[in-house]
Amino acid sequence: MWTNRSKAPLSRRSMLQTASCGFGYLAFQSLAQSQSSAATGINSGIRPRARRVIFLCMSGGPAQLDTFDYKPQTGKQEKHPGSVFSFAQHGNSGIWVSELMPETARFVDRMCIINSMHADTGNHAQSFLQLHTGERLRKRPSMGAWIQYGLGTENDNLPGFISLNASKPAVYSSAFLPTEFEGTPIGTNGEDMSEATIANIRGDHLPMSAKRRQLDFVQAMNRQHAANRNEDAHLNGVVESMELAFRMQTNAPDLLDLSNETEATLQRYRVGKKLSVGTCRPTDFGRQCLLARRFAEAGVRFIEVNHGGWDQHTNHRRDLKANCETVDAPIAALLEDLATRGLLEDTLVVWGGEFGRPGLTPDDGKDETGHNARGFTFWLAGGGMKQGYVHGRTDETGARAVEDKVHFRDLHATILHALGLPANDLTFQHAGRSHRLTGPDGGNVVDALFA
Amino acid sequence: MALPDPRTEETVVPELRQAIDGEGLWSFIPRQHPLPPSVADPSWPQDPLDHFIQARFESAGLQPASDASPHVLIRRLFNDLIGLPPTFQQVQEFERACQADRAAATRNLVDRLLDSPQFGVRWGRHWLDVARYGESNGDDGLGRNASFPHAWRYRDYVVDAFNNDTPYDRFLTEQIAGDLLPADSADQRNKLLVATGFLAIGSKPAAAMNQNFAMDIVDDQINAVCSATLGLSVACARCHDHKHDPIPTSDYYALAGIFSSTQTLYGAAGNEKLTAPPTPLHELVERFNSEDADDRKPHETPKFPADYAEAIGKLEPNVYATLDESPSEFSVEGVSKFSSDAFAETTKGHLRGEFGSATPDYSVAFWYKNDLPNTQSPVTAYLFTRGEFDNKQIPGDHLGIGGSYNKERTGRLFVFNGNDKKQSIGGDTVIAPQSWNHLVLVRRGQQVKVYLNGRLEIDEALSATFGENLDFCFAVRSDRMFPLSGNLAHVALFERALSEDEAISLHTTSGQPRPPEVVGLAMGVREAKKIADCKIHINGDKGKLGPEVPRGMLNAYQQIDPRNKGLFDNADLRMDASTSGRLQLARWITQDDHPQTSRVMVNRVWLHLFGRAIVTTPDDFGVYGAKPTHPLLLDHLAQRFVDSDWSIKRLIRAIALSRTYQLDSQSDPRMVAIDPENVFFARHARRRLDAESLRDSVLLACDQLDMRFGEGSDIQHRDVLINKLPEDASDLHRPSNHRSLYLCMLRHAPPAELSAFDLPDGVSVAGQRSVTTLPAHGLFLLNSPFVVEQSRQLAEQIPQADDSDDETRVHWVFQRVLRRQPSALEKRQAIAFVIELETSLASEGDLKLRQRVAWGALCQALITTNEFRYVD
């Protein structure tokens, strides 16, 4: 039985202390159970394949039919919706990838492509929220917060959840989960990320030892303040957050500083390359991907890397091309580095957006697409997933998923499962009922995706 | 009379029927008039509203928290009503007053705070969140972010409106249709024009390659009005009918016709027409435009009186020509046409001559008209040069009108002194192309003054670089660059500096009306030249037009509930072909019986006083929004609000004096467990200071806060693309000790002193801010230059007299920052901390310096505490 941590036998204070020492839900379970002499082991019984997640979030609805879901014309006289770009087979797996993703295509044998995603709504804001939190309308904890809640952090000196170029607070929120699981944003949506940093990360008005002494004094007062207020969980969360801020001062500046990367690396990631074409914003996506690798190496649990601008209603060809050009090489460089450094073994890379788009019919002169939540593509890589594998299928025009359909809640369940977390039993009691990332309906772990 | 049962008159599409039955359309149903429900403990309520709260928490089995202590209450009231903490002395006085009579003391305090000018600063900011206020456009989608140098006037209007307790119905009407309301004075007229800034300050996508630009502005206006006032998001209806949404596309385009019949005055848009084509702005004038002045046609050649030449002659010009015929005083090149109808007409020509002596002081006066648009050429026109002709270094004074080269000079007068010194001085007035204007340039030594139409426009030092040379020319620069395309008349040169009176008399004696002095410019709207209904844009695209929809209100209300029919019966709401319909729209929204307007505002006020709204989606009262947790309370408050003439202050007063508001935030843990989100309001919410309150509280604690109203804006003279400047956009923010409301709220480049703490982005209506808990907050407190500097300032003020020991000093710091005495333990800890720091910093300098650093660290520590940052 998986219970809410706040109902476990340890006090909230000690719970928070353990959380700050890098223990998460699993470790806590074990601790709580061993203290109550009912130890059943440290894990959930699920073999963890991945230790961390890099979520390449393609906001706006990437056009799956022009990238990874190949819909050849079926040879009848009338052309039907499909792609307006050409595709070719790649790698040993022979998976079809469009001409817009030449660099990423080199890693297709590492990828696990799901062509049968579906979601509930074609409304950007709601579907984007559902992708992140499992819930369309209400403020709920984000996937990164749930995962941190489940696993804790691997690096006490950094946030366990970092969102690069985040679009809005709702998608990195911890909502009712303890505040230490909230994501830390670096840069805001659409901003040029080439200079984005963590504000006020340094300050030389006091030596570090004096700052430590100062914070000790503050925290003593804060603890007294919270104690006088029934140990208000939020206030205690702020105490934790202050500690993390303090520790970040020593670690984060180096991580954000790319000056020790070689010119070749910067070039591979296209750091500094910025395209401003229609909906495609000049955000320095390459720098984000390189930072993601560095954060992954440093033990950040959940890293979200955002690229907006996939909502190309008009000028579809031009803007889609620019978006693909922006993300293609940096993603390939990231996969390459993760693979060569052995990190892809236990890092789950997730690529996709809030929904997809209907296909254009070649030669009919149209250059305008809308939203399609009934069938679209995600791909996964690393973290114990199958390699060079395509899962599910949309119908012949790509209009809807028809085989092995995967809903966001199934994707959420699969990601949790890959991390060794019980998809539908990772719960938190709030406002009188039990909540989970996979929502009231629960999600199905897609076993077929695992190697 | 029995109310008609809406279900017997079935005119509603089945999906809407479903939504009504599922209560999704609750906000469209007319208000109920509930009596305060009876309660188990009748001694508890203080105000009728308390009954509604109590009945609900009693039935949920909750016990209310006890009343907040005076210490807690005064801080809550200060923060909620004026956004500042009380001082230690104010806390003490209030505690004493409460001992005598708590109710009276609280009433007095609430009244005093509502009367404070700081009230408008606090509540005005709440409205600015709703109004998506920003002082720049924000990213236009093409990577440009144009400044809005006049947006701040709308900010000041909002603050005044809250301070004056402008009735909310009037407040909305002014913002939607102020330009159409009668005014008794120029001041009032100015205020009404500024109010319409609400419709103009929105963030706009770039106009380049965007055939829907005009409709994008209309869309922003519809969304702002509907979300802010009705809590309705109608954006979807731009493109298609949504089966569960009560607002059909036809309703959207009925509103769209109103706004497309409206001209939006957003200004120069950084003088980058790819971002947005420049528009005029509202001119705020010192006195009313008389009828004559309104009839003035500035593009027509002025009719000068017969004695104008004589009047000019009295000032003894050394050279003078009326230019109604070819002059003998100058050499004329390329100007062929002279007439008494249009004087000298020129496109590439000029007039040249020589001064009689190399006098360092001189004056020149003339009338001119420029025909070129202000952004067509790098410099729109050079009007006059004094300096050597055909010298490539162009020494001398060059008077011209700015063009596209320097976007801060576009359409404005400037004087440039050549390539050696490269100095330039300029004016503020943007001169409309094709208007006749009178100029006088007066040089006295190194000082240059330029008068425009009888008013001083430029008055600055500028090195004289013409030397002993005698050349002058009109209508071109001395190297023949950027000639005037237009007209010249009555040119006069003086080999002396004219006095101010003389310079102005050259305009006065022309018989031309002096335009009322423009004391400022404002963003806003006015009626468009063409009033027309709007066609449905299929899929929201201008390329595909459907049928035309008559301008009008949202008809859905009548379908949803026939009782709403009354909303449409008012004769004042009829539109005719001569008006856009904005005034009628404002009247429709602000009818007493409108089911949403009062509910939406009451809910906003409740949110700011309790931290949680009755409808938790304050900008969305539609099918996707939340339902009210206390529907009867909402209707009760809305009715009171309307009955008290839509007075926001009276509404706040009633709520602040209720028992519910004055509850402690501390409650029995069992009650918290039953209601963790405080849905039932059986206790008060503990809340973090928002970005503005935190900064203002720090400044106040450190005695650095300037409580006077801020004036203008850091960018009020800068029509620029803020992200394309040589300097960083963040450098546009100037240091200020005014309240945070007055910091420059550039979209996508917010002030660093606020940006860490969940500021709204100013792009969409934001009635409720996010509240995050991030390490970024901790880093701000630990390291930000602002907090460090303020702490240092506070440490400087600690009493240093010999008889004040460390203990006294600790008391002093606690009183200042936390408004209380330290406990014995805190005192010991604080002193130990300071001494330890003084000692550990031994290598950092002499004792005095180390003491300052250590006490500064203590001040910063207290500012960093949760006690400082959270209000119980």
Kindly report, residue by residue over A105-154, the tens digit of the pLDDT: 999 999 999 999 999 988 887 899 899 999 887 778 999 999 999 998 88
Which of A193, A206, A300 best tests the B interface by mutation, with the highest count of B CBs <10 A?
A206
Q: Which of B665, B773, B837 sits opposite A179 (nearest CB)?
A: B773
Closest residue of chain A to B212, computed from CA coordinates: A314
Which of B670, B866, B870 best tests the A interface by mutation, with the highest count of A CBs <10 A?
B866
Closest residue of chain A to B829, computed from CA coordinates: A217
Residue B297's pLDDT is 66
Whole-number Å distance between alpha carbons of A82 and A358: 8
Whole-number Å distance between alpha carbons of B413 and B390: 23
* Residue B453 identity: N
Contact state of B784 with A431 under an 8 Å Cβ cutoff: no
Which residues lie across from B443 on neighbouring strands? B362, B448
Of A161-165, A169-173, A233-237, give the lowest mean pLDDT range: A169-173
Contact state of B665 with A198 under an 8 Å Cβ cutoff: no
Sign of CA pseudo-dihedral B483, B489, B494, B498: negative
Residue A212's pLDDT is 95
Whole-number Å distance between alpha carbons of A2 and B548: 60
> Dihedral (C-alpha) A338, A343, A344, A350: value to the nearest 10 degrees?
-80
B residues 205-234 lying closer than 8 A (beta carbon) to A: none
B24 vs A contacts (CB less than 8 Å): none
Q: Are B516 and B293 in contact (CB under 8 A)?
A: yes
Of B366, B362, B325, the residue nearest B475 (C-alpha): B366
Residue B570's pLDDT is 78
Which of A221, A240, A435 best tests the B interface by mutation, with the highest count of B CBs <10 A?
A221
Q: Which residues contact A11 (CB under 8 A, 6 or more apart)?
A: none
Quick one: B660 exposed, middle or buried, by C-beta within 10 A (0-12, 13-18, 19+)?
A: buried
Q: Are A241 and B777 in contact (CB under 8 A)?
A: yes
Where on the phi/psi map is residue A431: left (φ > 0), alpha (ψ -120 to 50), or beta?
left
Buried b / exposed e over B247-262, threshold 16 CB at 10 Å, is: bbbbbbbbbbbbbbbb
Q: Are B244 and B24 in contact (CB under 8 A)?
A: yes
pLDDT averages per 10-residue partition of chain B, 872 residues: 38 55 84 94 96 96 96 98 97 97 98 98 98 92 86 98 98 97 93 98 86 90 96 77 74 94 93 85 79 57 92 94 90 89 92 92 96 91 96 95 87 94 90 93 96 93 94 95 95 96 95 84 94 85 83 88 87 83 96 97 98 94 88 98 98 98 95 92 96 98 95 90 78 92 92 90 89 90 96 93 84 96 96 93 80 95 97 96
Structure tokens at B521: 């410019």
Contact state of B776 with A199 under an 8 Å Cβ cutoff: yes
Residue A44's pLDDT is 67
Q: Which of A169, A199, A209 sits opposite B779 (nearest CB)?
A: A199
pLDDT over threshold 50, residue A17: no
Residue A287's pLDDT is 95
Q: Which 8-state DSSP code applies to residue A245?
A: H
Residue A152's pLDDT is 86
Of B389, B530, B525, B514, the residue nearest B453 (C-alpha): B514
B residues 798-837 lying closer than 8 A (beta carbon) to A: 826, 829-830, 833, 836-837
Contact state of A215 with B672 under an 8 Å Cβ cutoff: no
Tell me, what's the ipTM? 0.82
Structure tokens at A21: 């020492």
Whole-number Å distance between alpha carbons of B600 and B614: 10
pLDDT over threshold 50, residue A34: no
Whole-number Å distance between alpha carbons of B372 and B380: 7
Quick one: B420 exposed, middle or buried, by C-beta within 10 A (0-12, 13-18, 19+)?
A: exposed
Contact state of B841 with A207 under an 8 Å Cβ cutoff: yes
C-alpha distance from B533 to closest chain A C-alpha (Å): 26
Contact state of B776 with A198 under an 8 Å Cβ cutoff: yes
A200 vs B contacts (CB less than 8 Å): 756, 776, 779-780, 782-784
Residue whose entry in the numeric block shows the structure tokens 């940006």 = B755
Contact state of B782 with A241 under an 8 Å Cβ cutoff: no
Q: Which 8-state DSSP code applies to residue B627?
A: P
Of B48, B26, B205, B2, the residue nearest B621 (C-alpha): B26
Contact state of A202 with B776 under an 8 Å Cβ cutoff: no
Of chain A, the percentage scoring pLDDT greater than 70 comes to 89
| B385 sits in which H/E element | strand B379-386
B786 vs A contacts (CB less than 8 Å): none
Whole-number Å distance between alpha carbons of B358 and B352: 16
Q: Are B179 and B192 in contact (CB under 8 A)?
A: yes
C-alpha distance from A177 to closest chain B C-alpha (Å): 12
Q: Which 8-state DSSP code applies to residue B197?
A: G
Contact state of A217 with B756 under an 8 Å Cβ cutoff: no
Q: Tell me the count of A-B CB pairs closer than 8 A.
A: 150
Quick one: B309 exposed, middle or buried, by C-beta within 10 A (0-12, 13-18, 19+)?
A: middle
B872 vs A contacts (CB less than 8 Å): 229
Of B323, B316, B295, the residue nearest B506 (C-alpha): B316
Interface contact B773, partner A, CB < 8 A: yes
A209 vs B contacts (CB less than 8 Å): 840
B851 vs A contacts (CB less than 8 Å): none
Structure tokens at B390: 């055909």
Closest residue of chain B to A160, computed from CA coordinates: B775
* Residue A410 identity: D
Q: Which three-class secondary structure state does DSSP give residue B558?
A: helix
Structure tokens at A332: 């390939």
Whole-number Å distance between alpha carbons of A305 and A287: 10
B784 vs A contacts (CB less than 8 Å): 199-200, 203
Residue A309's pLDDT is 86
Phi–psi pair at B95, nearest 5 degrees = -60, -40
C-alpha distance from B650 to closest chain A C-alpha (Å): 32
- Residue B822 Cα distances to B69, B262, B701, angstroms: 18, 60, 16
A229 vs B contacts (CB less than 8 Å): 665-666, 686, 872
Q: Which of A207, A221, A241 sits opposite B773 (nearest CB)?
A: A241
Residue whose entry in the numeric block shows the structure tokens 């607070």 = A169
For range A275-279, the mean pLDDT = 84
Whole-number Å distance between alpha carbons of B452 and B216: 37
A430 vs B contacts (CB less than 8 Å): 676
- Residue B388 Cα distances to A371, B357, B474, angstroms: 66, 14, 13
Residue whose entry in the numeric block shows the structure tokens 């620069």 = B477
Residue B147's pLDDT is 94
Interface contact B66, partner A, CB < 8 A: no
Whole-number Å distance between alpha carbons of B136 and B140: 10
Contact state of A226 with B866 under an 8 Å Cβ cutoff: yes
Of A52-61, A194-203, B408-417, B594-603, give the lowest mean pLDDT range: A194-203
B62 vs A contacts (CB less than 8 Å): none
A238 vs B contacts (CB less than 8 Å): 773, 777, 866
- Residue B138 Cα distances to A47, A337, B388, angstroms: 48, 36, 46
| B449 sits in which H/E element | strand B447-452
**What single string gives the DSSP state of each residue in B133-154?**
--SB----SSS--BB-TTTHHH
B826 vs A contacts (CB less than 8 Å): 221
B residues 831-850 lying closer than 8 A (beta carbon) to A: 833, 836-837, 840-841
Q: Are B76 and B68 in contact (CB under 8 A)?
A: yes
Closest residue of chain A to B773, computed from CA coordinates: A179
- Residue B674 Cα distances to B158, B181, B592, B616, B678, angstroms: 40, 52, 38, 19, 9
Closest residue of chain A to B778, computed from CA coordinates: A242
Q: Report the relative pairing of strands B436-444 and B319-321 from DSSP bridges.
A: unpaired
Q: Which of B686, B775, B788 sits opposite A244 (nearest CB)?
A: B775
Interface contact B763, partner A, CB < 8 A: no
Closest residue of chain B to A370, computed from CA coordinates: B539
C-alpha distance from B337 to closest chain A C-alpha (Å): 49
Contact state of A276 with B836 under an 8 Å Cβ cutoff: no
Q: Which three-class secondary structure state does DSSP give residue B353?
A: strand
Contact state of A246 with B778 under an 8 Å Cβ cutoff: yes
Structure tokens at A285: 């996506």
Quick one: A252 exposed, middle or buried, by C-beta within 10 A (0-12, 13-18, 19+)?
A: buried
In terms of residues, how long is chain B? 872
Buried b / exposed e over B751-771, threshold 16 CB at 10 Å, is: bbbbbbbbbbbbbbbbbbeee
C-alpha distance from A448 to closest chain B C-alpha (Å): 36
Interface contact B143, partner A, CB < 8 A: yes
Whole-number Å distance between alpha carbons of B735 and B786: 10
Residue whose entry in the numeric block shows the structure tokens 């959270």 = B870
B867 vs A contacts (CB less than 8 Å): 221-222, 225
Interface contact B764, partner A, CB < 8 A: no
Which residues lie across from B526 on neighbouring strands? B263
Cα A15 to chain centroid, rounded: 26
